[in-house]
Each structure stands twice: as structure tokens, then as C-alpha cells.
Amino acid sequence: MGVFYFIVALLALASSVGFAYDPSPLQDFCVAINDTKTGVFVNGKFCKDPKLANADDFFFQGLGPGNTSNPLGSKVTPVTVNEILGLNTLGISLARVDFAPKGLNPPHTHPRGTEILVVLEGTLYVGFVSSNQDNNRLFTKVLNKGDVFVFPIGLIHFQLNVGYGEAIAIAGLSSQNPGVITIANAVFGSKPPISLEVLTKAFQVDKNVIDYLQKQFWYNNS
């Protein structure tokens, strides 16, 4: 009997250790303040009195279509905690992605969310690249209407419209605020620019190649 209680106590301890964790970041950063009087941000958002919540706190109207008349031929319309305040702390959001013919949702990552995408219209060539540890393998698929594909959290991924007409997809994301880092925009369009010395060495190219890339206008489609 003593052994039984000992094991139960041990399991209880193990599970409390195993399930105790800090809240994940819910925005890019949440720098601590020293003086609480000046604090206005938390990890996530402040909550209103639950008794004051109503249906509109959980509602969003008119999801798209996004305007795809832009250099990428794609538009992402996010529905995150910034659009539906009731999503705060719930760990979920979505986005609609519209594609013109040949439109591209360029290589990007979501630092805080896995994505599951369903094609509503058209045909998309999609892919993601695994991490260095997995040798940066490319996983791709051509998706037709009704097909679903998963982009694991943090991995670089893209979607290209390879059909004849427009394409529409809906993406579910496992964060109230998954975030987006578009690779080209972050690397070549940062403000201020990353130094030539860093980028020429990183990409092993001549500095006028980097100079050329940094002079481009990196459109943000989301």
C-alpha cells in the first residue's frame, strides 16, 4: 500500500512538472517594464469583464475577397485576435488567401502557428522546407479544390496558383496571433537594411547582387 501511494505521489509530481509551462509568446516580443505604472501591454491582450462580452466579440463580417492587383498577385486577409477580440487566449485564428492567375503567396513563416490550408477554388502548388537538422528537405504538393495541406509551425512555406483561373484558400492557424515573416521582405527589405558585408557573405554573391535586391520594393501581401 505504501508503495502504491508513493507511486501515485511520484506520478502527481511528474505530471505537475511535465504540464507546468510558461505561456508561449503571443506577439513578437513583450519586453518587461520596470515600473508597473507605465505598463499597458501583456502577453496577449487585456480581458474585458466576461459579463460584458457579447456575440459581436466573436464575430467577423465579410471575409474577402482580397484585392490581388499587386506585384505578387495574392492577398492574405487575416482573421486573428486583432480582428476578433474574442479569440484572445484561445490559440486559434484563420486567414483567407486569394490568388490571381499565377499569383504567389511568397516564402514566409508563421513564428507562432502551425497552418492547415484547404483549397476552396483553383489549383495551388504548395510546399515547405524542413529545418537544417532535417537537411532542409522540400515537401511539395499540387492541391485541387477540397485538398488540405499542413505547414508545420515555423517552417518556410509558399503557395503558387498554377491553375487557369483565380484560386481561393482558407488557412486555420494554431495561434490567436500566428505572425508572418516574409523571407525576402525581412532579409532584403529590413529597415534599416542589413549590412552588405553580412548579406554578401551569407548568400555568397557579389555586393551588387545584394545592392540590387535591397533596392527592390518588397510588397507585403498580408
Ligand X SMILES: *[C@@H]1O[C@H](CO)[C@@H](O)[C@H](O)[C@H]1NC(C)=O
Known binding-site positions for Mn(2+): 108, 110, 115, 157
**Residue 38 or 69 having the CB closest to ligand X:** 69
Bridging pattern class, strands 93-99 and 74-79:
antiparallel
Q: With CA atoms as reference, report the closest residue to 210 among 192, 219, 197, 191.
A: 197
180 close to 157: Cβ distance less than 8 angstroms: no
What does the per-residue mask of binding to ligand X show for 156-195, with x meaning CB under 6 A?
A: ----------------------------------------
Closest distance to ligand X from the beta carbon of 15 (Å): 35
Task: Return binding residues.
Answer: 105, 108, 110, 115, 157
Binding residues for oxalate: 105, 110, 115
Residue 27, C-beta contacts closer than 8 angstroms, at least 6 positions apart: 43, 44, 177, 179
Note whether 15 binds ligand X by CB under 6 A.
no
Minimal distance, residue 102 CB to ligand X, in Å: 17
Q: How far is CA 131 from CA 109, 128, 136, 155, 158, in A?
A: 12, 10, 5, 7, 15
DSSP 23-88: PPPSSS-----S-GGG---BSB-PPPPGGG--GGGG-----------STTSEEEEEESTTT-GGGT
Interacting positions 110-149 with ligand X (CB under 6 A): none
Residues 69 to 108 in contact with ligand X, rule: CB under 6 A: 69
Minimum CB separation of residue 75 from ligand X in Å reads 9
34, 38, 61, 135: which one binds ligand X (CB under 6 A): 34
**Among 15, 24, 43, 67, contact with ligand X (rule: CB under 6 A):** 67
Q: Which is nearest to 108 in space by CA: 45, 55, 154, 61? A: 154
User: How many residues bind ligand X, per CB under 6 A?
Assistant: 3
State in angstroms the smallest separation of the CB of 78 from ligand X.
Answer: 18
Provide the binding-site residues for ligand X, judged by CB under 6 A.
34, 67, 69
